[in-house]
A and B are shown apart, each in its own frame.
Chain A
Amino acid sequence: DAGVIQSPRHEVTEMGQEVTLRCKPISGHNSLFWYRQTMMRGLELLIYFNNNVPIDDSGMPEDRFSAKMPNASFSTLKIQPSEPRDSAVYFCASSLEPGQRNTEAFFGQGTRLTVV
């Protein structure tokens, strides 16, 4: 398997524009996570899907952020409208359903978002 695939790798956009980040999880994994990484806060969990259903979105910063998982092989994270403080690296990760025997999350290479 190619691992978790994210696109684009880099995105530069102007404040106020809509940004869509994409993720293809590892085939067979039924859990998907979106993280945001900044120097100030480290690695923050934004939302967690299990079997395509959002289970915990308490980490989504505000209504400008939304995430969808229309099927087992695709997820999007959308920011509308984007603001400079949204600049960060966004990671998608997938795993088997978290449990004592399934604890490893596999991360994609990330999308570096810059909002100017």
Chain B
Amino acid sequence: QQPVQSPQAVILREGEDAVINCSSSKALYSVHWYRQKHGEAPVFLMILLKGGEQKGHDKISASFNEKKQQSSLYLTASQLSYSGTYFCGTESGGSYIPTFGRGTSLIVHP
């Protein structure tokens, strides 16, 4: 079953922050985040494993709340290069093969 991402779209100015949420109706084992720039292939950002850990990748970080069955991606001081569609993928059985949501479109303006 697909996770639900919110919001569907975000428009920011350079330097602003954004949060993208990902929630599932099932208990989660791992959450995967990918970014896809327009016309390009999705690129891996990070994975979070159950245990409520938080990870960071430059100014992009994420948290995983097992109890709430959700994950959030935090983009701090956004840059033009952050524009793209962000996909969360969730997995429940320990296979590490995610089912992806429909994506959140992020547009960063100068």
Considering only residues 45-59 of chain B, those with a C-beta below 8 Å from chain A are: 47, 49
Of A13-21, A41-49, A61-69, A75-83, the one with at least 4 CB within 8 A of chain B:
A41-49
The verdict on A84 contacting chain B, using a C-beta distance below 8 Å, is no
Asked whether B97 lies within 8 Å of A45 as measured between CB atoms, the reply is yes
Q: For chains A and B in complex, what number of residue pairs have CB atoms within 8 angstroms?
A: 46
Number of interface residues of A (CB under 8 A): 23
Give every chain B residue within 8 A of A44 (Cβ-Cβ). Answer: 100
Partner of A103, one of B30, B40, B43: B30
Partner of A91, one of B2, B42, B97: B42
Chain B 30-71, CB within 8 Å of chain A: the 1/0 string? Answer: 101000000011111001010000000000000000000000
CA distance A44 to B101 in the complex (A): 9
CA distance A111 to B1 in the complex (A): 25
Q: Which residues of A contact B (CB under 8 A)?
A: 4, 33, 35, 41-45, 48, 56, 91, 98-100, 102-110
CA distance A4 to B44 in the complex (A): 14
CA distance A45 to B99 in the complex (A): 7
Asked whether A42 lies within 8 Å of B41 as measured between CB atoms, the reply is no
